[in-house]
């Protein structure tokens, strides 16, 4: 089972839970996910390969992407951080998937171009811009995840892009991130408990060690599955976690 079926086909809960590749999951989320959720997923993918960025400009681009997702900076500021990262990547002749992932995380899809312009772009544009030039709203998430997985493979000396073990391992980690951000898309959420929102806001701001407190409160008040997610010791929660977003009212 590689993942949910292509767009337009029915997808079962079992398929969603069994998926091991983020690309079909993201395709399933098309028109269902907010731009913010897709962006924070891209940021989380980059944070997994943070140690592979060989210049501070790449980290700044990822940080800018996160700030943009939260509405703390505008498009011009995001574009400036991305341009600074691109200027460094050009010196590497585009031969660095990790750094390219940071640029994709900070990218904004352009309005869709006519077919003939897309055809020209296929021969002239750097690899990280192809899907952005098609105007695909999923581009920041899909392209970033792809190149972060390639970066993990290259880090372990696996240069082919045909699915080496390190790439597959990274994709599986990305799938776990997706489920942390989007949860189970087949279960409707109850009305959010606004009384506990201040604690969730502190967690969102970075106090992730308080996640068990949120989980315990939720279970004590009857939110069993939501609390279970917070208390799962195997999970490393990221910004955008569906429970924290649900409690704080974020989309």
Q: Tell me, what's the pLDDT at 220?
A: 97
CA dihedral of residues 200, 204, 208, 209 (deg, nearest 10): -40
**Residues 160 and 93 grouped into a single domain:** yes
216-244 mean pLDDT: 96
Last residue of a domain, one of 148, 182, 216: 182
**Residues 89 and 205 grouped into a single domain:** no
CB 66 within 8 A of CB 40: yes
The alpha helices in 92-196, defined as continuous H runs, are 97-105, 115-124, 130-133, 139-155, 165-182
Q: Is residue 2 part of a domain?
A: no
Reported as a pLDDT band with limits 50, 70 and 90, residue 4 is very low
The alpha helices in the chain, defined as continuous H runs, are 13-18, 22-28, 35-48, 56-69, 75-91, 97-105, 115-124, 130-133, 139-155, 165-182, 197-204, 211-220, 224-231, 242-248
Last residue of a domain, one of 182, 203, 227: 182
**Residues 79 and 146 grouped into a single domain:** yes
For residue range 25-44, what is the model confidence (pLDDT) as tens digits? 999 999 999 999 999 999 99
**Residues 241 and 121 grouped into a single domain:** no
**Residues 170 and 199 grouped into a single domain:** no
Q: Tell me, what's the pLDDT at 110?
A: 79
**Residues 45 and 150 grouped into a single domain:** yes
For residue range 70-104, what is the model confidence (pLDDT) as tens digits? 999 999 999 999 999 999 988 876 567 899 899 99
User: What is the residue whose two structure tokens read 């969102």?
Assistant: 204
Model confidence, pTM: 0.88
**Residues 18 and 106 grouped into a single domain:** yes
Q: Is residue 238 part of a domain?
A: yes
Q: Which residues contact 248 (CB under 8 A, 6 or more apart)?
A: 197, 200, 201, 204
**Residues 162 and 214 grouped into a single domain:** no
* CA distance linking residue 194 with residue 26, whole number of Å: 29
For residue range 125-146, what is the model confidence (pLDDT) as tens digits? 555 456 787 789 999 999 999 9
Last residue of a domain, one of 182, 213, 233: 182
Q: Percent of the chain beyond pLDDT 90?
A: 67
* Across 118-127, 153-162, 209-218, least confident range: 118-127
Q: Is residue 6 part of a domain?
A: no
- 152: domain range? 13-182
Number of domains in the chain: 2
Q: CA triplet 160, 99, 157: central angle to 5 degrees? A: 30
Q: Is residue 187 part of a domain?
A: no
């Amino acid at each position: 089972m590689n993942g949910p079926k292509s767009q337009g086909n029915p997808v079962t809960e079992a398929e969603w839970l069994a998926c091991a590749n983020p690309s079909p999951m993201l395709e399933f989320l098309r028109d269902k996910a907010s731009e913010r959720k897709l962006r924070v997923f891209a940021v989380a993918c980059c944070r997994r390969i943070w140690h592979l960025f060989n210049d501070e400009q790449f980290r700044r681009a990822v940080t800018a992407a996160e700030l943009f997702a939260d509405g703390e900076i505008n498009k011009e500021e995001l574009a400036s951080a991305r341009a600074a990262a691109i200027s460094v990547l050009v010196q590497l002749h585009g031969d660095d998937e990790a750094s390219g992932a940071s640029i994709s995380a900070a990218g904004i899809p352009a309005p869709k171009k006519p077919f003939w312009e897309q055809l020209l772009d296929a021969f002239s544009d750097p690899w990280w811009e192809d899907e952005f030039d098609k105007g695909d709203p999923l581009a920041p998430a899909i392209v970033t995840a792809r190149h972060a997985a390639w970066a993990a493979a290259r880090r372990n000396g696996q240069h082919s892009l045909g699915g080496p073990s390190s790439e597959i391992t990274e994709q599986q980690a990305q799938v776990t991130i997706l489920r942390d951000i989007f949860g189970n898309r087949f279960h409707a959420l109850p009305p959010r408990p606004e009384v506990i929102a201040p604690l969730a806001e502190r967690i969102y701001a970075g106090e992730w060690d308080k996640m068990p407190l949120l989980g315990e409160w939720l279970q004590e008040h009857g939110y069993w599955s939501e609390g279970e997610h917070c208390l799962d010791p195997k999970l490393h929660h990221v910004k955008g976690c569906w429970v924290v977003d649900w409690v704080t009212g974020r989309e």
